[in-house]
Structure 1
Amino acid sequence: MHGGAYVSSYFPEHWVFFGKLIERTGRTVVIPDYPLAPEHQFEETTEMVYTALVNLINRVGAENVTLIGDSAGGGMAFALSQKLRDDKGVQPSQIILLSPLLDMTKSNPEILKVDKYDPILRR
């Protein structure tokens, strides 16, 4: 799942990443085009992706599914894995989070230590 703060769709860099991932692994990549804010609320977005993920797991088996998300998509991937756990669902074989957005409030005091070095964070 892509980043973009839940308001932007896929960037060209995402497509380059997906192409390299397919080329290097020979695997199929399923790319959900999830609903974005402000037109859609978080609950609608996560329900759509959760349903797609469960359907994929049921169709191909959890052992054949790797859930990958970057930035906001990484936060969503983490939230979906927690929902699967809470619903007693089967987890994907792997979950890969690339710079996941895990603290939407940016209230973690450790953020201040890295803020001056991070060109994107801008606390």
Structure 2
Amino acid sequence: MRKKTTENFCEYAVRWREQAARLKSPMKESKMIDIFIQEQELNYFRYLLSTVGKTFDNVMKVGEMVENDIKSGKIVSQAALKATTQVLHNGSGNIRGKKRREDVAIIVSVLQTYVQDNPLQHYFHSQTP
């Protein structure tokens, strides 16, 4: 089950949890959380790993924070990077288009490196007293 474009992360998580509760053989909450995290796209998956062993409410809270940070630009959306990469590959063949593709490729590379090297940096800083 995927998140609809019209719903926020918490709405999606509640809908997912309700569907999981309807299964014939109910799952333990820890198993439900593990499966839920595994189903998430890369942006959420990286951050939600820290919630393994926590409650579903904690998972929802972190997911909501990730969603807000994607919207505000603190986290680079992997979907946006993928779309940008596809545009680069499908771009025009002229020299100006080639230069633009090279520039964007460099920016995408730097952003991907930053996201990989600093996945939880701003959460730890915001939660320290």
Whether the TM-score (by the shorter chain) exceeds 0.5 is no
Higher strand share: 1
- The structure with higher relative contact order (CA 8 Å, sep 6+) is 1
What TM-score do the two structures reach when normalised by structure 1?
0.31
Larger proportion of helix = 2
Per the normalisation by structure 2, the TM-score is: 0.30
